Structure 1
Amino acid sequence: MKNFLQKKGVHISVQTYLITALSYMALGLFSSLIIGLIIKTIGDQLGFTQFIELGNFAMDTKIWGGAIGVAIAYGLKAPPLVIFAALFSGAYGADLGGPAGSYISALLATEFGKLISKETRLDIILTPFLTLTVGFFTGMFIGPPIDQFMTGFGEIINWATTQQPFIMGIIVAVLMGLALTAPISSLAIAFMLSIDGLAAGAATIGCAAQMIGFATISYRDNGMGGFLAQGIGTSMLQVANIVKKPIILVPPTVAGALLAPIATVWLELENNASGAGMGTSGLVGQIMTFNTMGFTWEVAGIILILHIIAPALISYLIARWLRKRGLIKPGDMLIEYE
């Protein structure tokens, strides 16, 4: 059985299901729901009815659910027939169970589809048949309760943040920031937990602090290219360096922890699930903050300070202190592109 699973590319592991699959789920979400929300926001602000229509279509549950299905199947290196059929599995799972239902349905459908792929002469029939069937029954029976659990857990986080904005703001910011930098998807987590309001605002602070913080303190190692890659791309580029020298994680993490209470207690900065796990990646976190709170110069100033300027300054000062003590040295945050 072990040899058969290996032959079919089915690797039952935390790496496969909680890192690779979640990461590709996030790509599916970004390519459909999030980009649709951005386009709709632009349309709303500029009065472009075509953009509003396009954005609404991309935000349809079946559209982004299907995108999740295809993305997960592609990420798990499924054969073509499984990838194409996984679109249905992700869409049906999303329709009944939300993001969590889509994730589970697409994941199981893909793995079962891979098992039967190219094993019979009726491959063109049996492979998509099994993939669709597994996705359908998974979405029907497993999707809704899983989605209810994830949504309920997210509601507890949202509620706790309104009750204890100081403490919970720090906890949410730190955990979501670490999730963004780790090889897992903070975006997928934010969606599955339906984080919004103050909790989403704190999560955005934590994620932005990681990205802007690492971009700033690693500038001398990586130059402007590395700054942009991390600042509007992802701080995940530092994972290998963090494993070798964990102390480099301190400056951006502390920055997020210090700034989150300011956002939750004093300024009451809010966001939605689309922006909560993105930080400054593609400026989605900032666009979604405007989408949630409305565009005003006051909100723009708060975003500029809490998402960009303050994380850069705090991270720089802490990193400078650590450098003076020899705890961080030149080359510790060098990004290897090859």
Structure 2
Amino acid sequence: MAEVEHYTFKDYLNKVLAGTASGIVIGLIANAILGGIFKALIPYGTIFATLAMVVSTMQFLTPALVGVLVGMQFKLKPMESVIIGAATFLGSGAYVATDAGIMLVGIGDLVNVMLMAGLAVFVTRLLDGKLGSLTLILLPILVGAGVGTIGLLTLPYVSLVTSTIGNIINSFTQLQPLVMAVLISVAFSILIISPISTVAIGIAIGISGLGAGAAAIGVTACTAVLVIGSRKVNQSGTTLAILLGAMKMMMPNLVKYPRILVPIITNAILSGIGAYLINIQGLPQTAGFGIVGLVGPIQAVEMGTSVLMVIVAYFVIPFVGALLIDLLFNKVLKIYEHEIFKFVPVKN
């Protein structure tokens, strides 16, 4: 019998983060790149409505994808990884039961997704070799349905993390506009590289106007820093994925190298000031997107900001700022090496 490999809590954390980061990219990138394009093309052919629906629906598979990829991180068998994917989806909060049936409502709470993926792996490894010929019958029940049920029970409590953060950010809206813009920009620049959903936060607190604009600018500030740093150490496809909306794939880097927040926060402060001076506006549903799908910039233009000023706020200030900040912190002050931006893909 093969020797069972032992994992520490740190091993679990790193592998769950790595699987989660890749799962989020796979689940969300199609809609991030093509969703807006297909929706705009709907008047020119019904096929584009179908395509828009497909890439949008693909997002709902994210928790299951995360579970499968986390299982692969632990070198589990294909069947075991798929069952872990099922357990993760069932406990994610990505669906609700209604009188009409089950309704998909999003990608779930990512914190709970990670917890259930880790727990499902732990239980699967604990049961390894103990179920005998009944493995095919009992594993889906004990891990799939069992851990999935635990996820639904923990979901309301885990979701308190998101609501608490939302309440804190909402309190910023009571401050002087410049301070508000800077603090919200910084908050969203950090959240976009964490397991917390910036889109969920924006909608939950109903942030709008300058606050929503600053939030979207903060997401963009983080994107710019990750793109500038990534281009030095990652393949072009990885850097492009980040630019197109896959910032959360860098969550493992945040845990391993917390100093990655130094350039992110600095750029968010600079970009937040820019959002205030230009008076970038937004809505709750656009606050967490940044430049993904050009959602933030388009909304700002529709709310009265000139195209030129939107380009300055969303592209010039964040990306030029990120470049100068990278030169300062990497070359001059030597606070970090570009290795902190290295993305480690899922291992088979």
What TM-score does the superposition give when structure 2 sets the normalisation length?
0.66
- Aligned to 2:197, the other structure's residue is in SS state helix
Question: Amino acid of the residue matched to residue 67 of structure 2?
Answer: G
* Superposition deviation, residue 75 in structure 1: 3.7
* Superposition deviation, residue 309 in structure 1: 1.3
**1:65·1:91 contact (CA, 8 Å) conserved in 2?**
yes
The equivalences for 1:265-276 within 5 A come to 266-270=279-283, 272=285, 275-276=288-289
**1:9·1:77 contact (CA, 8 Å) conserved in 2?**
no
Are 2:87 and 1:103 equivalent residues in the alignment? Answer: no
Aligned equivalent of 1:155: 166
The equivalences for 1:1-338 within 5 A come to 7-13=4-10, 16-17=12-13, 19-33=14-28, 35-36=30-31, 38-47=33-42, 48-60=48-60, 63-93=61-91, 94=93, 95=95, 98-99=108-109, 100-122=111-133, 123-147=135-159, 149-164=160-175, 166-178=178-190, 185-186=193-194, 188-190=195-197, 194-196=201-203, 197=207, 201-213=213-225, 232=243, 253-263=265-275, 266-270=279-283, 272=285, 275-276=288-289, 284=292, 286-289=293-296, 298=305, 301-317=308-324, 326-328=332-334, 333=338
Question: Amino acid of the residue matched to residue 196 of structure 2?
Answer: I
* Superposition deviation, residue 116 in structure 1: 1.0
Could you tell me which runs of 5 or more consecutive residues in structure 1 were left unpaired when the two chains were aligned. Answer: 1-5
- Aligned to 2:333, the other structure's residue is in SS state coil
**1:158·1:195 contact (CA, 8 Å) conserved in 2?**
no
* Superposition deviation, residue 322 in structure 1: 7.0
Number of paired residues?
311
* Superposition deviation, residue 257 in structure 1: 0.6
**1:150·1:192 contact (CA, 8 Å) conserved in 2?**
no
**1:10·1:114 contact (CA, 8 Å) conserved in 2?**
no
* Superposition deviation, residue 86 in structure 1: 1.9
CA distance in 2, matches of 1:295, 1:59: 27
Distance change in 2, residues 1:116/1:251 (3 Å): closer
**1:70·1:86 contact (CA, 8 Å) conserved in 2?**
yes
- Whichever structure has more helix as a proportion of its residues is 1
* Superposition deviation, residue 138 in structure 1: 0.7
CA distance in 2, matches of 1:33, 1:217: 22
* Superposition deviation, residue 92 in structure 1: 1.6
Distance change in 2, residues 1:70/1:16 (3 Å): same
1:94-150: CA deviations, max 9, x gaps? 235932444333332222112112344233333333211332321332223322x13
- Aligned to 1:194, the other structure's residue is in SS state helix
CA distance in 2, matches of 1:109, 1:337: 25
CA distance in 1, matches of 2:342, 2:166: 40
Question: Amino acid of the residue matched to residue 54 of structure 1?
Answer: V
- Aligned to 1:98, the other structure's residue is in SS state coil
What RMSD over aligned residues (CA atoms) do the two structures have, in Å? Answer: 4.7
CA distance in 1, matches of 2:146, 2:202: 29
Question: Amino acid of the residue matched to residue 45 of structure 1?
Answer: A
* Superposition deviation, residue 301 in structure 1: 4.4
CA distance in 1, matches of 2:235, 2:121: 40
CA distance in 2, matches of 1:101, 1:323: 35
| Higher RCO structure (Cα 8 Å, ≥6 apart) | 2
Distance change in 2, residues 1:131/1:208 (3 Å): same
CA distance in 2, matches of 1:33, 1:316: 27
CA distance in 1, matches of 2:317, 2:261: 17
What TM-score does the superposition give when structure 1 sets the normalisation length?
0.68
Aligned equivalent of 1:3: none
Could you tell me which runs of 5 or more consecutive residues in structure 2 were left unpaired when the two chains were aligned. Answer: 43-47, 97-106
Distance change in 2, residues 1:315/1:218 (3 Å): same
